[in-house]
Each structure stands twice: as structure tokens, then as C-alpha cells.
């Protein structure tokens, strides 16, 4: 990878971070970034994942926790040590957020 390509990649990551931070109500934007993590080239996928991790890890970003958890689990098997470590950090963030969720039973004595 050339130095110029690295700079363009870093700039692209910053753009995705800003787009996500400034448009938290745009679910399609978040879904686009998640989709790129699964279907994009390796550089695009890792860049979008880093952007999502930055946004979701720094504050309580409004996103679907199941989608985020699926992404984190998928990225935890990445061959890049950096991506693996980021996914583990996000797993801790997800663990913290899920403690505030109330889970309702799917079945019970009335069902």
C-alpha cells in the first residue's frame, strides 16, 4: 500500500465517522456502513468497521444491537489483529448496553 492510498483510506474513514455522527437518525446510512463490512473490499470493510466502532464505542449511538452484535461476532474472526481487538472492545460496549435492556419472555404461564 502506498502512502497516498493510506491517506485516502484514513480520510474515507473520517468521512464515514462524520456522516454517522452527524446523522444518527438516518438508519439507512448505518445499514449501508454495516453492509460494506460484509460485502466491500477488505480495505472498505475494515474502514467502515473502524468508523462504526468509533461511533458506537464513543457514545450511546442509536443502532440495532442485534445488527451490531452480528457484525462484531463476524469481525472477531478477522485475520487482522487490529480488527479483532476493535471487535473485542465493541463487545465490551455491547455488553454494557445490554445490561440496560429489559428482556421479555417469549412464553410463560399465560401463553
pLDDT, position 91: 86
pLDDT, position 67: 92
Cβ atoms within 10 Å of 18's Cβ, excluding its own:
12
DSSP string, 4-65: HHHHHHHHHHHHHHHHHHH-TT-HHHHHHHHHHHHHS-HHHHHHHHHHHHHHHHHS-----H
Identify the domain containing residue 40 by its residue range: 3-87
32 is a domain residue: yes
What is the tally of structural domains in the chain?
Answer: 1
96 is a domain residue: no
| Lowest mean pLDDT segment, chosen from 1-5, 20-24, 58-62, 70-74 | 1-5
pLDDT, position 24: 93
Nearest residue to 27 via CA among 70, 61, 1: 61
- Residues 97-106: pLDDT tens digits? 544 444 344 4
16 is a domain residue: yes
97 is a domain residue: no
Q: How far apart are the C-alpha atoms of 77 and 26, rounded to whole Å?
A: 28
45 is a domain residue: yes
100 is a domain residue: no
Q: How many CA atoms lie within 13 A of 81 on its CB side?
A: 0
- Residues 41-84: pLDDT tens digits? 999 999 999 999 999 988 788 888 899 999 999 999 999 999 99
pLDDT, position 71: 96
Amino acid at each position: 500500500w502506498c502512502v497516498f492510498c493510506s491517506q485516502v483510506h484514513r480520510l474515507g474513514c473520517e468521512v464515514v465517522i462524520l456522516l454517522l455522527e452527524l446523522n444518527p437518525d438516518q438508519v439507512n446510512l448505518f445499514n449501508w456502513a454495516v453492509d460494506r463490512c460484509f460485502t466491500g473490499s477488505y480495505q472498505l470493510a475494515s474502514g467502515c468497521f473502524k468508523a462504526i466502532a468509533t461511533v458506537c464505542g464513543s457514545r450511546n449511538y442509536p443502532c440495532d444491537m442485534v445488527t451490531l452484535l452480528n457484525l462484531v461476532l463476524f469481525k472477531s474472526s478477522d485475520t487482522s489483529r487490529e480488527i479483532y481487538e476493535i471487535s473485542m472492545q465493541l463487545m465490551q460496549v455491547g455488553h454494557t448496553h445490554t445490561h440496560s435492556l429489559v428482556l421479555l419472555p417469549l412464553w410463560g404461564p399465560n401463553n
